[in-house]
């Protein structure tokens, strides 16, 4: 008999627990994966942990292998890296990424896993889902050579976008955040940093990812005439007030949403698998290690997630490690 797996569940808003899970025997076309690492996407997962998903968004916010329903009990998460233990011969022993919650072992279809390139460490591969979001955002934003760009909000998504923009030729990229400690992250990613009141204006494009109405208002202020704010923030059930009077109309400003749930229409010829494979290739850059700012053992998740949700642990991506015997 295979020993049961263990999974992290949100038992009620603000409280989590680890429960045993009975795994099915993999059938043809399935793999058994032993988790090596998973990542906590601080913005989305802590919102889920607090019970902040609006009822109107329950369906849209479902993770691919979520069990249970919002607000709770629910098993939620989507940044898992593991080793294939059973399945097709060409995959056994391979390191793979899967949009699976925090669980020690799991069985999924072969199509649900993506092989991690040999030059990408498993520890860094937990960022694949967030870098995929950044790829989709830049497909939507379509930055041009020489653009003046600000990324407002130095969280996990904002920093991922800034890291990719740093590779664009001739662009001026500035990461803007109210936390001065983000300057060190910006330096590691190869972009400039500014506090909100010091940020450069006259931007052709501003990518907003702070999930605050102050950040979105400042993003509008930083635009040049006919500039665009690409909105990546997820506000959950919080209303947002915006200054759409003043010069918003006379300067012909644009606010456009972007969401990773749909492949950007600008790349309609690409599949979800294409987009994820590209994100994993981009993770060969060691500069992205700057986005992982904390780590704990899987068994500690019930104590760690409340501290992440409260801000006591000021993480970008918090990495979860699993023992070989898990």
Q: Summarize pLDDT for 41-69 with one digit per residue, the tens.
A: 877 899 899 998 989 889 988 999 999 99
Same domain, 110 and 209: no
CATH at residue 159: 3.40.50.720
Does pLDDT of 5 surpass 90?
yes
DSSP strand pairing (317-321 vs 292-297): parallel
Mean pLDDT across the stretch 181-206? 97
Sign of CA dihedral 75, 78, 80, 85: positive
Residue 184 forms part of a structural domain: yes
Give the H/E segment covering residue 228: strand 223-231
Same domain, 189 and 144: yes
Mean pLDDT across the stretch 201-223? 96
CATH at residue 53: 3.90.180.10
243-260 pLDDT, tens digit each: 998 889 999 999 999 988
- Are 104 and 35 spatial neighbours (Cβ–Cβ below 8 Å)? yes
CA 95 to chain centroid, in Å, comes to 20
Question: Can you tell me which residue has the tokens 């292998």?
Answer: 65
Same domain, 120 and 141: no
- CA dist., res. 273 & res. 278, Å (int): 9
Residue 278 forms part of a structural domain: no
| pLDDT band, residue 326 (cuts 50/70/90) | low
To the nearest whole number, what is the mean pLDDT of the chain? 94
| Closest of 21, 16, 18, 17 to residue 2, by C-alpha | 21
The reported pLDDT for the residue numbered 239 is: 87
Residue 169 forms part of a structural domain: yes
Same domain, 82 and 146: no
Least confident of 126-135, 233-242, 294-303: 233-242
161-171 pLDDT, tens digit each: 999 999 999 99
Three-state DSSP class for residue 236:
coil
| pLDDT band, residue 3 (cuts 50/70/90) | confident
Same domain, 118 and 66: yes
Question: Can you tell me which residue has the tokens 């993506």?
Answer: 114
The reported pLDDT for the residue numbered 252 is: 96
- CA dist., res. 216 & res. 255, Å (int): 9
Same domain, 98 and 227: no
The reported pLDDT for the residue numbered 1 is: 57
Residue 174 forms part of a structural domain: yes
Same domain, 9 and 111: yes
Same domain, 259 and 144: yes
What per-residue string of b and e applies to 57-94 under the rule 16 or more CB within 10 Å gives b?
eeeebebebbeeebbbbbbbbbbbbbbbebbeeebeeb
Determine if the pTM surpasses 0.95. no
Domain that holds residue 181: 130-267
105-162 pLDDT, tens digit each: 999 999 999 999 999 999 999 999 999 999 999 999 999 999 999 999 999 999 999 9
Same domain, 134 and 263: yes
- DSSP for 240-288 reads -----STTTTTTT-EEEE--TTS--GGGTTS-HHHHHHHHHHHTT-GGG
Same domain, 137 and 244: yes
Same domain, 30 and 112: yes
DSSP letter at 27? -
- DSSP for 88-146 reads STTTTT-EEEE---SBSEEEEEGGGEEEPPTTS-HHHHTTHHHHHHHHHHHHHH---TT
The reported pLDDT for the residue numbered 325 is: 66
Mean pLDDT across the stretch 11-34? 96
Residue 273 forms part of a structural domain: no
125-141 pLDDT, tens digit each: 999 999 999 999 999 99
Sheet strands side by side (includes 148-152): 192-194, 172-176, 148-152, 203-208, 223-231, 254-257
Residue 123 forms part of a structural domain: yes
């Amino acid at each position: 008999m295979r020993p049961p797996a263990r999974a992290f569940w949100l038992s009620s808003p603000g409280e989590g627990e680890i429960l045993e899970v009975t795994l099915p025997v993999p059938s043809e076309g399935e793999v058994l994966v032993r988790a090596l690492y998973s990542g906590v996407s601080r913005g989305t997962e802590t919102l889920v942990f607090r019970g902040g998903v609006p009822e109107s968004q329950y369906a849209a916010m479902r993770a691919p292998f979520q069990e249970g329903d919002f607000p709770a009990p629910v098993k939620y998460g989507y940044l898992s890296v593991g080793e294939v233990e059973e399945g097709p011969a060409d995959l056994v022993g391979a390191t793979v990424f899967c949009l699976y919650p925090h669980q020690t072992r799991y069985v999924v279809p072969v199509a649900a896993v993506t092989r991690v390139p040999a030059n990408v460490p498993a520890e860094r591969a937990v960022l694949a889902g967030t870098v995929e979001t950044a790829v989709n955002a830049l497909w939507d934003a379509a930055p041009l050579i020489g653009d003046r760009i600000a990324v407002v909000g130095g969280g996990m998504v904002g920093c991922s976008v800034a890291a990719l923009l740093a590779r664009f030729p001739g662009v001026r990229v500035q990461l803007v955040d109210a936390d001065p400690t983000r300057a060190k992250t910006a330096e590691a990613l190869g972009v400039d940093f500014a506090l909100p009141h010091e940020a450069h204006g006259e931007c052709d494009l501003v990518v907003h990812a702070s999930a605050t109405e102050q950040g979105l208002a400042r993003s509008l202020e930083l635009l040049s005439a006919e500039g665009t704010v690409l909105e990546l923030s997820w506000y959950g059930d919080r209303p947002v007030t915006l200054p759409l009077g003043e010069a918003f109309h006379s300067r012909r400003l644009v606010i456009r949403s972007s969401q990773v749930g749909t492949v950007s229409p600008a790349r309609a010829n690409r599949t979800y698998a294409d987009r994820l494979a590209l994100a994993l290739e981009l993770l060969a850059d060691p500069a992205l290690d700057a986005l992982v700012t904390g780590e704990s053992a899987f068994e500690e998740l019930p104590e760690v997630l409340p501290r992440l949700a409260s801000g006591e642990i000021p993480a970008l991506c918090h990495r979860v490690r699993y023992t070989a015997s898990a």
